[in-house]
Each structure stands twice: as structure tokens, then as C-alpha cells.
Amino acid sequence: MLGYIAKRLLQMIPTLIGVSILCFIIIHSVPGDPANLIAGVDATAEEIQIVKERLGLDRPLYEQYGSYVMGLLQGDMGKSLRSDRPVAEELLTRFPSTIMLTMLSVVVMVLVGLFAGIMSAIRPNSMRDNATMMVSLFGISMPVFWSGIMLILVFSYYLQWLPSGGSTQLKHYILPAIALGLSSSAVLARLTRSSILEVIHQDFIRTARAKGVREKLIIYKHTLKNALIPIITIVGLEFGHLLGGAVLTETVFSMNGIGRYIIQSIQFRDYPAIQGSILFVAAIFVIVNLVVDLCYGAVDPRIRYD
């Protein structure tokens, strides 16, 4: 087990290197110069050049990337061009808000998605099944920012039950977690339905029914347990989707998280902040995938990591 974990952690290195290279190339290919924004609209060409030299933006791209990698090896993600504060410090300040939103969204996704998928699979092709799958299709097609705005309109503006923004109290996370979690719960519901239908027609389920085992016990203990592998996989993949969705959700709900920080950094052409944020999110996603792989062994004893 420890050898497998060490191997997977080592595999993170080339993955993160590839992410950093791709991110670096894309960012520097986008039109716009942060030196112009920092120097101001009335700055002369000489003043802009001085800012570039101070920030190291006048050097060739390979030298800039080399300096960035050397800093990463020393635990330094650089300084934000916008705030002149260490990027790592700003990310750690905003990380609790983003991870809280993501975890609550996962809870919403699992509760709604599993329940809807199980209810559909119990009676396939029934009116309930068709209605659930239709709602799931609507959930998949519905943009997160639109559902967030609709939730604000109903629960914050008309009913005034919940705040429309902020990230200091638990109530601030309810609406964004629902908006973010419902979109992923639709995917989970459809996969849960197909996984249960695949398992429920196998021989050991028919044997359990022949022995007189209660239907609820068959569904929740025997069927669902054997259908968990693809469900766990999609939960892990959707965790990354939820982290990415936090960019729009945190912006809509004015939350002080990494997602909104990325948007602000992109608007300012803050290269170190954008690179550090994307690399940070990529590292979290890789670690989550490792945790998902380890969960396979806990669910299915036949899986070993020797």
C-alpha cells in the first residue's frame, strides 16, 4: 500500500510539470501586458520598460519559466503582480473557503444524485424513472452561473431567507453549494441508475430474492455496494469539476475563494497568481484521484495494491 502511494505521488511530478508548462505558454500567449496595467494608463514607454525590468518580464520566456520552476522547488510560487504579496500566502488564505464550498457541493451531489439514481433504478421505465431522468438531463444542461443567479433571485431577493454573497458564515455557503452540487448530482444520478440496473440482474441478486431477503436490503446492501466502483469514480472526477466550477460560482456569490482569485488575476494579467492557482488546483485534483483509487480497495476486497 505504501509503495503504491509513493509511486502515485511520484507520478504527480510529470503531471504537474506538464500543467505548469501548458499554463505558462497559454498565459503568455494571451494579448495584454501586466506592466501596462501596473504602470498606469498615462505611463510613458520608458516607465513601462522599467516596470518590465523590475518584474523580469523583459527576459525570454524560457528564462522566466526556469526562474519560476526554481522558485517552486524552493517552495516559492512567486509574488502577485497585483498585490505584491506571496502567491502561496494568498492561496492558503482563500483555500478554506474554496474547499468548504467544494465539500458541501459534494455532499449535495451525493445525497441528491444517489437518491435520484436509486429511485429510478428500482422501477425502470416507469413514470418516476422518466421524470427523474428528464430532470437530470435538465440539470446537466443548466449552467452553474444561471442556477446560481436564479437561487439568489428566489431565496435572497424575493424570500430573503439566505444571503446572496459572502463567505464568512455557514449560511453563505448554502446557495452556492446547492447551485454547484445540483449540476453534478444529475451526472451521478444517471450513472447510479445504470450501475444499479447492471448489478440488479446478476445471479447473486436473484439468489437473495429466492431466499426471501427484503427488497430494501437487497437494494441498499447487496446491489448498491457492488455498484459503488463506478459511482466512486464519478464522484472523484466530479470533485475536480466542482473545483473548476467554483471559479464561476464564487464570482456570482462574491466569495473570497481561489476561484474568484483566479478571475481577478486573469483580469489583471497577474502571471504568478494565475500559474500558482492552477498548479495548486491541479495538485489537489491529483491527490483526490489518489484517494479515490484507495477507496476502491475498501469497497472491493478483490482489489489489492501490492
* Average pLDDT of span 218-223: 75
Confidence of residue 300 (pLDDT cuts 50, 70, 90): low
Residue 4 has pLDDT above 70, yes or no: no
pLDDT digits (tens, 9 = 90+) for 136-195: 777 777 788 888 888 898 888 888 888 888 777 888 888 888 888 887 888 888 888 888
* Cβ–Cβ under 8 Å, residues 251 and 260: yes
Instruction: Quote the CA–CA distance of 182 and 189 in Å, as a whole number.
Output: 10
pLDDT digits (tens, 9 = 90+) for 245-289: 778 888 888 888 888 888 888 887 788 888 888 888 888 888 887
219 burial via Cβ count (<10 Å: 0-12, 13-18, 19+): middle
- All cell numbers assigned to 80: 502577485
- Domains, in order of start, for the chain: 95-299 (1.10.3720.10)
* Average pLDDT of span 234-241: 80
- All cell numbers assigned to 103: 465539500
DSSP 207-226: HHHHTT--HHHIIIIIIHHH
pLDDT digits (tens, 9 = 90+) for 14-66: 888 888 888 888 877 777 677 777 776 677 777 778 777 777 777 887 888 88
pTM, entire model? 0.81
The candidate with the shortest Cα–Cα distance to 122, out of 227, 272, 47, is 227
Confidence of residue 297 (pLDDT cuts 50, 70, 90): low
